[in-house]
Structure 1
Amino acid sequence: MSTLTLAALLTLVTSTLARTVTVSNHCPFIVWPAMFTGTGTLPSYSTGWEAAPDTSVTFSVPDNWQAGRIWGRRDCDFSTNPGPNSCLDGGCNGGLECDSNTGSGVPPATLAEFSLNQNSGLDYYDVSLVDGYNLPISITNNVGCPVTNCPVDLGPNCPAPLIGPFDSTGFPVGCKSACEANLDGDPSNSPNCCTGQYDTLQTCPSSGVTYYSYFKSNCPNAYCYAFDDSTALFTCPASNNAEYTVTFCP
């Protein structure tokens, strides 16, 4: 087989194995979506862009996309000092386009997380509030696998120790996690962060996480602390080649 033919075959295989992800903004305001890949091959699209209301983009991700996350940023201005502080929440190193190595985003931020075609031939996906909340999000698909979401605006009723940041009108556009708010004073050994002596399911039950019930009662399908796997981690057979849609303000 010639080198050219082999290259063409590899291109065909790669194309066949690629998955499709759509990101839609149904919010009545601009959102700046961001994307980060924890390990492995990067998706084909930009790591950050501007999304006007009622717009969407579709792009390919690797069939085995690992530790991928998508989130939205609010109230951004990249014209001066582009970086993690360019947005009111969810900002990242790099400015508009998040740095592919260090641009994982600044909490609070609602995350859509993916690890495709992993153990036992399954896609794993979830909506996470472990880093706090900043936008309602859903993950849907085209093959009938479960929907996961946090469709509620958690900002206005957020507990006082967690609320914020606030926009220019004083409206809360975020709700920190108890870990991010550092309520117990030591994030390296914290029942809110499940760190140190609390780094297992047995030593870090949800009952020990401050304000866990606020997040979980409003968004029962979302990760609300580190060990929420049994209620918040969803799977879909990789053989289904699911196409996933992440929607802000579903």
Structure 2
Amino acid sequence: MARIWARTNCAFDKSGRGWCQTGDCGGLLQCQGYGSPPNTLAEYALNQFGNKDFFDISLVDGFNVPMEFSPTSNGCTRGIKCAQDIKTQCPNELKAPGGCHNSCTVYKTDKYCCNSGRCGPTNLSKFFKDRCRDAYSYPKDDPTSSFTCPGGTNYKVVFCP
């Protein structure tokens, strides 16, 4: 599984050290791990079970920019988009500079993080789902949020479509 995300309001020096308001990579220009929340994620796994690619947009780490993730070849046409400006509608308890946190980031409890495997949508995860129907809104949201194309498909990720 791989991830793509936007970083916003960044400043780096000539050595590649600095900071981003959202999606920061430990102060490094060249990411060596995951970006810090809040960040909208494009996630994908290529040539998996049944020679299929799996892809999604995830809001499990929160939201920082609208995103589109779409196939561009191989006869696969079902793209996904989260184009709402969630930042301006973000519930007060989830607001973050430059974005909107997911409830797990804020509350760190099993109800919101699904660590035990027993969880369902909450009012806060529904806030995200109501605005971006195809995006993951909590960790067990597979049935409405994971999409496939044949292996070998090309894709595009568009920030702020």
TM-score bracket relative to the smaller structure = over 0.9
- Give the share of equivalent positions with the same residue, in percent: 40
Q: Is the 8 A contact 1:136 1:152 kept in 2?
A: yes
Deviations 1:53-89 (A, max 9, x none): xxxxxxxxxxxxxx11100000001128825xx0011
The equivalent position to 1:82 in structure 2, one of 17, 20, 30, is 17
Q: Is the 8 A contact 1:72 1:248 kept in 2?
A: yes
Partner of 1:181: 106
CA distance in 2, matches of 1:109, 1:153: 13
Aligned AA (1:113):
E
How far residue 93 of structure 1 moved from its aligned partner, in angstroms, is 2.9
Aligned AA (1:71):
W
Partner of 2:132: 219
Q: Is the 8 A contact 1:108 1:132 kept in 2?
A: yes
The equivalent position to 1:142 in structure 2, one of 61, 72, 83, is 72
CA distance in 2, matches of 1:82, 1:176: 25
Gaps of 5+ in 2: none
Structure scoring higher RCO (CA < 8 A, sep ≥ 6) equals 2
Gaps of 5+ in 1: 1-66, 166-172
> Which ranges of 4 or more aligned residues in structure 1 deviate by more than 6 Å?
none
How far residue 226 of structure 1 moved from its aligned partner, in angstroms, is 0.1
Distance 1:191 1:162, change over 3 A: same
The equivalent position to 2:114 in structure 1, one of 173, 176, 194, is 194
Deviations 1:152-176 (A, max 9, x none): 11001100000111xxxxxxx2000
The alignment status of 1:71 with 2:1, answered yes or no, reads: no
Q: Which residues of 2 match residues 16-31 of structure 1 at below 5 A? A: none
3-state SS of 2:96 partner: coil
The equivalent position to 1:129 in structure 2, one of 59, 79, 83, is 59
TM-score, scaled relative to structure 2: 0.92
TM-score, scaled relative to structure 1: 0.60
Q: Which residues of 2 match residues 6-155 of structure 1 at below 5 A? A: 67-79=1-13, 82=17, 86-93=19-26, 95-99=28-32, 103-143=33-73, 144-155=76-87
The alignment status of 1:204 with 2:119, answered yes or no, reads: yes
Query: Which structure's CA Rg is the greater one?
Result: 1
How far residue 94 of structure 1 moved from its aligned partner, in angstroms, is 5.7
Measured on the aligned residues, the alpha-carbon RMSD in Å equals 1.6
Judging by fraction of residues, say which structure has more helix. Answer: 2
Partner of 2:157: 246
Q: Is the 8 A contact 1:74 1:90 kept in 2?
A: yes
